[in-house]
């Protein structure tokens, strides 16, 4: 019998720092438990889009993010319950080190905060290479730092030998923290990376399947799965109901804030995220609502068609965006800008999220029919929402390759990494938001767009530095900021209404 979302057994997989092996262990656990016949709900702390792709491959369910900065702490539980509805187990992969969160914001957006909000036990993945008894001191510090975080055990990674394992286990016995698994140093899984982290699943499908299978075998052989499942079942019950997209789009948005001037100044009222109403369990399918583009597919006359870019070049999208658009009355249809030479029939709006267009610049440029179709749609005034990679695609050129030319700007790769959370307010009325709408976002790129803002900028960024960025023109809203629409579901409602009236 399936567990209800409020009582689903759950584990948070954390680590003292990045690079300790969280993704290998979390993905391996998801795949190993799925292979045992359990319905496993995969989750990722923070804004990352890439790890959830591996989680989805491991479980057959869409990977979902739990981000207390982008969505507010009060939505972590409901979004978790939405994703975990009907599952036997949920595995949550942490971000960075256990206690690392948004810079200067204390525990906000940390794995520790999410574990507390979910009342979930934590399994600490510890890189044991180059140490033995010191592992116990490290674990003791993490266990005692915050008494509200329950570290239920550890999994030792990169252990060199039987003797090494025995020394570490003996030291951990004195701390009273059980060891749920040991992974040997020589058995690491090949997961290639590049300038923004792991290579996404969509770009290495067969190799990614092999990698996930290897993670499952490694973790299944080296970990006490029964013990971990028992630990997951010790999680506390959650009192919140699951987030529901249909109800969320009916929540009235807060009044807009004063609009910052274009010199980069911005207002300073306190952040007051929307508080969700009690919501009914999610009725939407776990794999999202977008359907693939079929060139001759029928148009649903009473529902505007929103084209959602996908494929290897545009892999960054939160599942809740498609769910919100559908709940707001749109028919969401995915298409691949690398392959499809036209937009889906009857397209009334376009959403182009993040990804790696810089890797596929030549192929995207070569698809001239689609570039022309996108430009014509934008020129006609249809709503177009573009984030990061989508912004680059709409530019005049990317690394010298012609793009859609919707925005009179040039994009290029750089060595500099722009990374971090952003507190922003809409500068200009757009198809997404009224001027003054407050949202939080995330930047993650090594590109630059020149100029960085148009005559009508998209956002006034309040933190970490004050500036304006992005472009609003006709129905286009294009920006580097990745946002999570569950925090402001009125964005989806406004977009769909603009699709109906444009």
Identify the band that residue 7 occupies on the pLDDT scale cut at 50, 70 and 90. Answer: confident
The whole-number average pLDDT for the span 96-123 is 97
Cα–Cα dist 218/158, whole Å = 12
Q: Which helix (H) or strand (E) segment is 169 a member of?
A: helix 162-175
Q: CA 291 → CA 142, 236, 353, 490, distances in Å?
A: 44, 36, 16, 23
Two structure tokens written together for 422? 């952003």
The whole-number average pLDDT for the span 216-244 is 96
300, pLDDT greater than 70: no
Of the candidates 136, 220, 128, the one whose C-alpha atom is nearest the C-alpha of residue 178 is: 136
Low-confidence winner among 78-92, 299-313, 374-388, 404-418 (lowest mean pLDDT): 299-313
Q: For residue 469, give every residue at least 6 positions away whose Cβ sits within 8 Å of its Cβ, in sequence order, or none.
A: 452, 453, 457, 458, 459, 461, 479, 480, 481
Cα–Cα dist 33/397, whole Å = 46
Two structure tokens written together for 393? 């695609």
Identify the band that residue 302 occupies on the pLDDT scale cut at 50, 70 and 90. Answer: confident
DSSP 235: P
336 with 367: CB under 8 angstroms?
no
Helix (H, G, I), strand (E, B) or coil at 198: strand
Between 363 and 283, name the one with better pLDDT: 363
The whole-number average pLDDT for the span 392-413 is 97
Q: CA 213 → CA 23, 64, 93, 146, distances in Å?
A: 13, 21, 18, 35
Two structure tokens written together for 16? 């003292």
499 with 465: CB under 8 angstroms?
no
Q: What is the mean pLDDT of the chain?
A: 88
What are the tens digits of pLDDT across the range 18-41?
Answer: 999 999 999 999 999 999 999 999
Q: What percent of the chain has pLDDT over 90?
A: 79
What are the tens digits of pLDDT across the range 163-208?
Answer: 999 999 999 999 999 999 999 986 556 665 544 456 666 656 778 8
**What is the reported pLDDT for 6?**
61
Question: pTM here?
Answer: 0.88
Identify the band that residue 296 occupies on the pLDDT scale cut at 50, 70 and 90. Answer: very low
301, pLDDT greater than 90: no
Cα–Cα dist 322/319, whole Å = 6
What are the tens digits of pLDDT across the range 132-147?
Answer: 999 999 999 999 999 9
151 pairs with which residues across the strands?
A: 122
306, pLDDT greater than 50: yes
Q: Which of 71, 87, 388, 404 is catalytic?
A: 388
Low-confidence winner among 182-186, 248-252, 295-299, 471-475 (lowest mean pLDDT): 295-299
Between 107 and 211, name the one with better pLDDT: 107
What are the tens digits of pLDDT across the range 475-485?
Answer: 999 999 999 99
C-alpha angle 494-356-262 in degrees, rounded to nearest 5: 50
What are the tens digits of pLDDT across the range 421-469?
Answer: 999 999 999 999 999 999 999 998 899 999 999 999 999 998 788 999 9
Q: What percent of the chain has pLDDT over 70?
A: 85
354 with 49: CB under 8 angstroms?
yes
355: alpha, beta or left, given left = phi > 0 and alpha = psi -120 to 50? Answer: left
What are the tens digits of pLDDT across the range 377-402?
Answer: 999 999 999 999 999 999 999 999 99
* Catalytic residue status for 388: yes
Identify the band that residue 267 occupies on the pLDDT scale cut at 50, 70 and 90. Answer: very low
Identify the band that residue 253 occupies on the pLDDT scale cut at 50, 70 and 90. Answer: low
Cα–Cα dist 478/391, whole Å = 5
Identify the band that residue 11 occupies on the pLDDT scale cut at 50, 70 and 90. Answer: very high
Identify the band that residue 342 occupies on the pLDDT scale cut at 50, 70 and 90. Answer: very high
**What is the reported pLDDT for 465?**
83
443 with 482: CB under 8 angstroms?
yes
């Amino acid at each position: 019998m399936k567990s209800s979302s409020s009582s689903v057994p759950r584990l948070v997989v954390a680590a003292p720092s990045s690079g300790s092996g969280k993704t290998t262990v979390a993905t391996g656990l998801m795949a190993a438990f799925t292979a045992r016949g359990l319905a496993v709900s995969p989750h990722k702390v923070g804004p990352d889009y890439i790890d959830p792709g591996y989680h989805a491959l491991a479980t057959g369910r869409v990977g979902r993010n739990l981000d207390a900065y982008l969505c507010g702490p009060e939505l972590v539980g409901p979004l978790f319950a939405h994703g975990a509805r009907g599952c036997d187990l949920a595995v949550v992969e942490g971000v960075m080190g256990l206690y690392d969160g948004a810079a200067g914001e204390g525990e906000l957006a940390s794995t520790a905060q999410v574990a507390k909000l979910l009342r979930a036990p934590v399994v600490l993945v510890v890189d044991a290479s180059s140490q033995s008894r010191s592992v116990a001191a490290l674990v003791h510090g993490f266990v005692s730092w915050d008494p509200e975080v329950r570290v239920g055990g550890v999994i030792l990674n990169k252990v060199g030998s039987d003797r090494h394992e025995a020394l570490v286990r003996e030291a951990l016995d004195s701390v009273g923290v059980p060891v749920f698994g040991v992974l040997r140093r020589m058995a690491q899984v090949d997961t290639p990376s590049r300038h923004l982290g792991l290579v996404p699943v969509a770009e290495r499908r067969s190799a990614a399947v092999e990698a996930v299978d290897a993670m499952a075998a490694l973790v299944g052989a080296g970990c006490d799965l029964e013990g971990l499942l028992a630990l997951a079942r010790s999680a506390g019950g959650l009192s919140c109901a699951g987030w529901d997209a249909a109800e969320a789009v009916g929540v009235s948005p807060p009044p807009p804030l004063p609009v910052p001037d274009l010199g980069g100044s911005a207002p300073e009222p306190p952040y007051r995220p929307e508080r969700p109403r009690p919501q009914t369990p999610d009725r939407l399918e776990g794999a999202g609502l977008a359907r693939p583009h079929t060139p001759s597919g029928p148009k649903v006359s009473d529902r505007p068609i929103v084209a959602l870019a996908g494929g290897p070049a545009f892999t960054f999208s939160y599942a809740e965006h498609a769910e919100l658009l559908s709940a707001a009355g749109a028919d969401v249809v995915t298409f691949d800008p690398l392959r499809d030479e036209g937009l889906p029939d009857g397209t009334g709006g376009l959403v182009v999220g993040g990804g790696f267009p810089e890797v596929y610049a030549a192929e995207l440029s070569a698809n001239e029919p689609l570039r022309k179709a996108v430009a014509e749609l934008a020129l006609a005034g249809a709503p177009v929402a573009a984030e990061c990679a989508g912004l680059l695609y709409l530019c005049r050129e990317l690394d010298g390759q012609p793009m859609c030319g919707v925005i009179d700007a040039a994009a290029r790769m750089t060595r500099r990494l722009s990374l971090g959370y952003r507190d922003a307010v809409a500068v200009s009325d757009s198809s997404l938001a009224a001027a003054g709408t407050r949202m939080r976002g995330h930047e993650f790129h090594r590109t630059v767009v020149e100029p960085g803002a148009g005559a009508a900028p998209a956002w006034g960024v309040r933190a970490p530095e004050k500036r304006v960025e992005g472009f609003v023109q006709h129905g286009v809203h294009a920006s580097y900021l990745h946002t999570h629409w569950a925090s402001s579901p009125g964005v989806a409602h406004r977009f769909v209404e603009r699709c109906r009236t444009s």
